[in-house]
Amino acid sequence: MAASVGPSAAAPKGEQLGFYRGEGPYPVPAAITTAQMNEVREGFVTAALHGQQAGFDGVEIHGANGYLLDQFLTDYLNQRDDHYGGSPKNRARFAAEICQDVQQAVGPA
């Protein structure tokens, strides 16, 4: 996967924080491809399976604070014109698919 991808080629607002070793405006990420989205889904599933194998009772799918899933939900960052962009339902689709994939892999709660 590229060093920096987002739902669309749109930079986050504001500037990077020096506290996190950033400086200046955020770079414009590459728009994530469908193949890369499949890799992300597989990564969430693999992590959940590893947690289950380690004996954890549950996992948290983090989708806040500017991370990729949050970017899909954010209208100014998600400028896609496919079924992952536009309406709130479409912008939530990627996160919902990941949740479904994880639940299918690890079984019911």
Domain encompassing residue 91:
33-106
The Cα–Cα gap between 5 and 18 comes to: 21
Closest of 17, 53, 51 to residue 61, by C-alpha? 51
Q: Is 67 a catalytic residue?
A: yes
Of residues 20, 67, 76, 84, which has the active-site annotation?
A: 67
> How far apart are alpha carbons 12 and 33 in whole angstroms?
19
Number of domains in the chain: 1
**Residues near 77 by beta carbon (within 8 Å), at least 6 away in sequence:** 6, 7, 8, 10, 12, 71
- What pTM value is reported for the model? 0.89
Give mean pLDDT, residues 74-99: 97
Domain for residue 13, yes or no?
no
Provide the pLDDT for residue 108. 79
Task: Report yes or no on 28 lying in a domain.
Answer: no
Report if residue 24 sits inside a domain. Answer: no
Mean pLDDT of the chain: 94
User: Is residue 75 a part of any domain in this protein?
Assistant: yes
